[in-house]
Structure 1
Amino acid sequence: MRIHVVQRGESLWGISQQYNIPINQIILINEIDNPDILVIGQALVIPDLMREYVIQPGDKLESIASRYGVTVRELAAANQIMNPSLIYAGQMLVLPYFPHVVRQGESLWSIASSYGIPLTQLLQATSILNPSLIYAGQTIRIPNIRPSIEVNAYATEFDEAGRQEVLRLGRNFTYLSSFMYSIREDGSLTELQDKPVLDAARLNGVAPLLTLTNFRNSEFNSDLAATILRSASIQETLIANVIQEIRDKKAGGINIDFEYVYPEDRENYNAFLRRMVESLHPLGYLVSTAVAPKTSADQKGILYEAHDYKAHGEIVDFVVVMTYEWGWAGGRPWAIAPINEVRKVLDYAVTEIHRDKIMMGIPLYGRDWKIPWQQGTFARTVSPKEAVQLAARYGASIQYNQTYQSPFFRYVDESDQEHEVWFEDARSIQAKYETVKEYGLRGVGYWVLGSPFPQNWPVLQSNFIIQK
């Protein structure tokens, strides 16, 4: 997979010729609605035909496997496909092997070393009985090896469109966290009609998680959290209700997202997490948390102080660090997840939490602000796909901030109002995945499904194998 940034005067046909790839492959993988309209600065995913294949309408996994001389099992395993019938036109498949033409003087050892793969895996892929008997001009198969990570995706839409999205994208997830089950002061939980979406997740081998929050009246409520965290008896009731809900929904565990917890409840929150783990682990259920993006243990503010990174890292199975919302709706225009700020959080997080428990938060959305920005105004949330459509509609060129590793642009609407838009694209998401590799993290957590970002999924697949 490569990333092409559209330059002035380029056409989709010309780009396809440049990369020697059929134009429909670029159209499908990027979900381009009008091939005649490109935006200067737009990032396009270009599949590598030697290593990847874009599913065409009418394709079956069996026919694709036969075309490339691999088994259906090999192709499914390379792409985390649990159900061969759940493939969709426009999705990218990573081929289990790619060809290498032996050059004069090369050995299997040197070839394996050049691709960074173990010699044993290369021998297994080539089925060569005598490693010394290779020759220049011979074509051998190289296994397409990628590091593995876990992926959590939060879901908030539980209608038929939400179910179809999980069916289509589920091979990219380890966990699906249904947002949200709000606690009540008596230890009961609000209801959520998420069963069809959770069933769709399981068809893709995804473990459903129930997201537990202190959300009430359209906001996270500090007093509600305090009521629960300061009462052992209410916690017992809550834990019993959580276990029953997990059983009813056939989920794999919970993700606890308590926000704006009073600083004085920090130890109460840690004790609550211990009680949850003591109750759920013996039943085989996972317990995870979501925490605010801190850069130090003593960071001030009600959003941060009760989130004890060290304690969470010791107690729960994994922690989703919410490394997004720098460019929040009520603030000034800014990148949603500027990579320089994300790295500051990770630099601190890895000192308190083991790397194999950290899930780095990634936004699947952008925002559109009116400028000049005024205090008290709020930005509109847009999907990455919608952001590019806005740029096309108003004739804007997309720029890229190297410090933040984030695309942005400005435009003037029909009422002469100026806007500034920050969003994610293939370049920014690749920078985030490189960060995950560099820090050796457990994986990533997406907020939130329901926001079309077609480039993310092939970039994810080209970088990682997703653990199931």
Structure 2
Amino acid sequence: MFIYTVKEGDSLFSIGRKYEVSYQSIMTLNGITNTNIVPGQSIAIPQSVYNVQPGDSFYTISQMTYVPVESLMATNNFWNPYQLTVGMRLKIPELPSYPINSMGYVTIRTPEKDKELIQLLSPLISYIPLFEYHFYRDGSLSDLNDETAIQTAKNNHSAPIATITNLTESGFSGELVHEVLNSPELRNRLIENIFSLLSTKQYMGVNIDFEGVHADDRDLFSGFLRLLSERLKPHGYITSVAIPPKTSDEIPWLLGYDYGGIGSAVDLVFIMAYDWHHAGGVPGPVAPIEQVRNTIEYAINRMNSKKVILGFPRYGYDWTLLEGNEYSGKAISSLEATRRAMNYQVPIFYSQQHQAPWFQYQDNKGRTHVVWFEDSRSFAAKMLLVREYRLRGMGAWQIGLEFPQAPSLMLKFFNIKKVI
């Protein structure tokens, strides 16, 4: 597989003819149902051979295939890069094997929908955090209709883990975390209730997703994770945590997260490396590559890289320009973002600095929209970071958001290791 960027005048038929693959198979791999592609759109091509085109070089082909120039040349018995000519067929070599554990969040909906989704994607997922249980001020837990999802995950050799959050009716509550963790009685009750949940429902571990932890509760949060892990580990349960991305110790709203203390306490750390721009802010890249890289470097200087699961967003945001230069954003899946560009027939641009696609359009009311999202190119760039920094693996929020090319990309870059 390689990634092609649509040029002015291209059609799916002409692209397929160029690379000797049917346009129907291109549509299937990319999840598109219409042929009205737009310039700048990334198209994954299901082909293991590359047909050299006018203007190609080993460097440009390397950029499309994510294979080093040296590997391309060696595989195809080239010693002189200038011998490349139009019409040559180059075999695309596989990347050196890199085994990972993968994590994919599933938001519980209905038993039928949960079963269908998990059966579809579980071959590529090591751990499935089911979202979500939340805790109350007395240390008790909410309920969740997750029995079908748990059993389906196990039947398909993916480890189900329970996601525990501090969500309330008004959103994530740092005050709730503060209240419970500052009471040894409530903290211990919460730990026992989590243990009881795992054993009763036959989960294989837990994922703690406490967001907005106060700076004053930094050590209490790390200590809670350590106590929880000590309670669960003797019984074979894993303890994982989802934490926001940090690039320094100087970010005031992230002072509650001690990467070193957290990393030493748990088995897996899912870094939510996204939402640098979000629905409530101004338009911009959701997961700019330079910030993701800085986050990884910050993290692995404070914890074992083999505990780090790099989180990928399977979504973007569509911001509407309102009066007074204000914006209102809504989250959309990566596939839906591509569909909107196609529907409005606007070109997609790609920021080399941020390694992220974006576009603008005007709706039927004349309002301007700005969309930043993730595509095959931006995902591939982050997958290279997982390999470069030798991380434990990658994960996604959330697998219910449509990103049709993700499975093929995962198989290209990684060897997925199952844990059950």
Say yes or no: TM over 0.5: yes
Distance 1:104 1:423, change over 3 A: closer
Structure 1 residues 225 and 427: CA distance shift in structure 2, 3 A? same
1:33 aligns with 2:39: no
Partner of 2:45: 46
Report the equivalent of 1:251: 203
How many pairs were matched up? Answer: 382
Q: 1:153 maps to what in 2?
A: 104
The residue type paired with residue 121 of structure 2 is L
> What's 2:171 paired with?
219
Aligned counterparts of 1:224 and 1:372: Cα–Cα separation in 2: 34
* Partner Cα distance (2:75, 2:351) in 1: 41
Matched letter for residue 38 of structure 1: I
SS of equivalent residue, structure 2 residue 219: helix
Supply the AA of the counterpart residue of 1:48: Q
Between the aligned partners of 2:77 and 2:226, the Cα distance in structure 1 is 61
Unpaired segments of 5 or more residues in structure 1? 52-100, 107-141
For 1:433 and 1:281, locate their aligned partners in 2 and report how far apart those are by CA, in whole Å.
Answer: 30
Distance change >3 Å, CA 454–CA 104, structure 1 → 2: closer
Are the counterparts in 2 of residues 39 and 388 from structure 1 also a CA contact under 8 Å?
A: no
Q: Give the counterpart letter for 2:269 in structure 1.
A: V
Instruction: List per-residue Cα deviations over 1:293-343 (Å, max 9, x = no partner).
Output: 111234322xx1111100111110011111100121100001110101111
Q: Tell me, in whole angstroms, the C-alpha distance in 2 between the residues paired with 1:144 and 1:389.
A: 31
Q: Distance in 1 between matches of 2:76 and 2:366?
A: 61
1:220-264: per-residue Cα shift (whole Å, max 9, x none)?
Answer: 112211121112222222122111211222111101111112211
Q: For residues 308 and 144 of structure 1, what CA distance do their matches in structure 2 show?
A: 35
Q: Which runs of 4+ in 1 moved over 6 A?
A: 101-106
Percent identity over the alignment is 35
Change in CA separation of 1:5 and 1:230 when aligned onto 2, cut-off 3 Å: same
Aligned counterpart, 2:391: 441
Query: Counterpart in 2 of 1:260?
Result: 212
Measured after TM superposition, the shift of residue 24 of structure 1 is: 2.6
Separation in 2, partners of 1:103, 1:444: 31
Query: What SS class does the counterpart of residue 301 from structure 2 fall into?
Result: helix
Normalised by the length of structure 1, the TM-score is 0.78
- Is the aligned partner of 1:14 residue 2:11? no
5+ residue gaps, structure 2, are: 51-73, 80-92
Alpha-carbon distance change, 371 to 278 in structure 1, aligned in 2, over 3 angstroms: same
Q: State the shift of 1:2 in Å.
A: 0.4
Please point out which of 283, 289, 293 is paired with 1:343. 293
Contact 2:283 2:370 in 1 (8 A): yes
Letter in 2 for 1:423: F
SS in 2 for 1:379: strand
Please provide the CA RMSD for this pair: 2.3
CA contact (8 A) 2:282 2:327 kept: no
1:340-383 Cα offsets, whole Å, 9 max, x none, are 11111112111101110111111000110012686774301111
Q: For 1:163, which of 97, 103, 115 is the aligned residue?
A: 115
* 8 A Cα contact 1:331 1:375, kept in partner: no
Task: Check the 8 A contact 2:247/2:291 in 1, yes or no.
Answer: no
TM-score, length basis structure 2: 0.86
Cα distance in 2 for partners of 1:373, 1:339 equals 31
Change (3 A) 1:374 1:201: farther
2:287 pairs with 1:329: no
Find the aligned partners of 1:427 and 1:437 in 2 and give their Cα distance: 16
Counterpart of 1:460 (choices 407, 410, 413) is: 410
SS at match of 2:328: coil
Are the counterparts in 2 of residues 158 and 196 from structure 1 also a CA contact under 8 Å? no
In the superposition, relative to structure 1, how do residues 264 and 466 fare at CA in structure 2: closer, same or farther (>3 Å)? same
Question: Aligned partners of 2:122, 2:76: CA distance in 1, in Å?
Answer: 40
**Which letter maps to 2:233?**
H
Matched with 2:23 is: 23
- Mapped to 2, the partners of 1:219 and 1:292 lie a distance apart of 16
Match runs of 1:124-163 below 5 Å:
146-159=97-110, 160-163=112-115
